[in-house]
């Protein structure tokens, strides 16, 4: 059964899709400017494998109302919002699955909920390390892309998909991504460029797997490897022929996720709950 409803958080309505299951919940966090639609195939596959699946639209994204203060440029704020969502839904030790800023948000949550998660799968996390230099300027209209935000998103998505993905699937992914507000997207990207939680990563106690697409156009695999090296017990994996959106590019993504979390049991260090 697939449920879709609105939940009030912070005085605003958040759109949340859910699928029941006997296995631990998987909270799926989308990329910058996008929405839970990115998990349309993965969520169904995870539910078929018995996982409870929760797919929210972050505030200001998709069908969720804006955050009370407008577009958010602080990924840690999103992490706190997700923790309030976890509490509101009564999720017990969920898995976190996030891509791009979603992966960074998942890692941020893990630093704040020791013992409260079953594990984290972070795909191409785009924040975490901050700007690695001079802080970027505040976003402005000119930064939204030219000639239009839609074209920037379309062509950027086409370029960001991996070489193993069939052209017709690349086209579908790109078409589905062209539904965004530049104010929200640019604020999200600014958040990724300034999100620095390096000093907190050592506090993560749950199992972690950090993956990156070999063909990722937006986040260099070397940067993702640096992030993985900062989490003491994290497993790192390079995905050949895959780009920035593994959950949309990989046809058997749900089956792979199941293998990854099964590996948590064997790989968890002493004292770390799988």
Per the structure, the complete domain to which residue 114 belongs is given by 3-267
Question: Residue 112 domain-assigned?
Answer: yes
Question: Residue 37 domain-assigned?
Answer: yes
Query: How confident is the model over 63-85, as pLDDT tens digits?
Result: 999 999 999 999 999 999 999 99
CATH value at residue 93? 3.40.50.1820
Question: Residue 87 domain-assigned?
Answer: yes
Query: How confident is the model over 221-238, as pLDDT tens digits?
Result: 999 999 999 998 999 999
DSSP letter (8 states) at residue 84: H
Question: Residue 118 domain-assigned?
Answer: yes
What whole-number percentage of the chain has pLDDT above 90?
Answer: 75
Query: How confident is the model over 155-172, as pLDDT tens digits?
Result: 889 999 999 999 999 998
Give yes or no for a contact between 235 and 209, defined as CB atoms under 8 angstroms apart.
yes
Residue 271 has a pLDDT of 46
Residue 129 has a pLDDT of 84
Query: How confident is the model over 13-66, as pLDDT tens digits?
Result: 999 999 999 999 999 999 999 999 999 999 999 999 999 999 999 999 999 999
Is pLDDT above 50 for 270?
no
Question: Residue 273 domain-assigned?
Answer: no
Question: Residue 272 domain-assigned?
Answer: no
Question: Residue 255 domain-assigned?
Answer: yes
Query: How confident is the model over 2-24, as pLDDT tens digits?
Result: 899 999 999 999 999 999 999 99
Taking residue 2's Cβ as centre, other Cβ atoms within 10 Å add up to: 11
Mean pLDDT across 199-211: 96
Bridge partner residues of 139 (DSSP): none
Measured distance CA(171)–CA(91) in Å, rounded: 35
Q: What is the dihedral of CA 214, 217, 221, 226, to 10 degrees?
A: -170
Question: Residue 274 domain-assigned?
Answer: no
Residue 153 has a pLDDT of 86
The H or E element that residue 119 is part of is strand 119-123
Mean pLDDT across 130-150: 61
Total number of domains in the chain: 1
């Amino acid at each position: 059964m697939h449920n879709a409803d609105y939940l009030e958080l912070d005085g605003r309505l958040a759109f949340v899709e859910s699928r029941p299951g006997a296995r631990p919940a998987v909270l799926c966090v989308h990329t910058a400017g996008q929405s839970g639609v990115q998990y349309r195939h993965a969520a169904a596959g995870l539910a078929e494998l018995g996982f409870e699946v929760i797919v929210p639209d972050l505030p200001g994204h998709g069908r969720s109302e804006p955050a009370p203060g407008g577009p958010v440029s602080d990924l840690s704020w999103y992490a706190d919002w997700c923790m309030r969502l976890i509490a509101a839904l009564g999720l017990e030790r969920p898995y976190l699955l996030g891509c791009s800023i979603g992966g960074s948000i998942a890692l941020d949550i893990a630093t704040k909920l020791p013992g409260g998660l079953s594990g984290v799968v972070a795909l191409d996390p785009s924040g975490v390390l901050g700007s690695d230099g001079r802080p970027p300027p505040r976003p402005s209209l000119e930064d939204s892309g030219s000639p239009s935000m839609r074209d920037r998103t379309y062509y950027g998505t086409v370029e960001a998909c991996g070489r193993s993905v069939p052209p017709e699937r690349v086209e579908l992914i790109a078409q589905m991504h062209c539904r965004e507000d530049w104010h929200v997207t640019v604020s999200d990207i600014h958040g990724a460029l300034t999100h620095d939680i390096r000093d907190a990563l050592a506090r993560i106690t749950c199992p972690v797997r950090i993956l990156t697409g070999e063909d990722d156009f937006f986040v260099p695999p070397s940067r993702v490897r640096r992030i993985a090296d900062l989490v003491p017990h994290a497993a790192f994996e390079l995905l050949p022929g895959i780009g920035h959106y593994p959950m949309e590019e990989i046809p058997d993504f749900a089956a792979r996720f199941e293998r990854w979390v099964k590996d948590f049991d064997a790989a968890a260090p002493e004292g770390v709950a799988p």
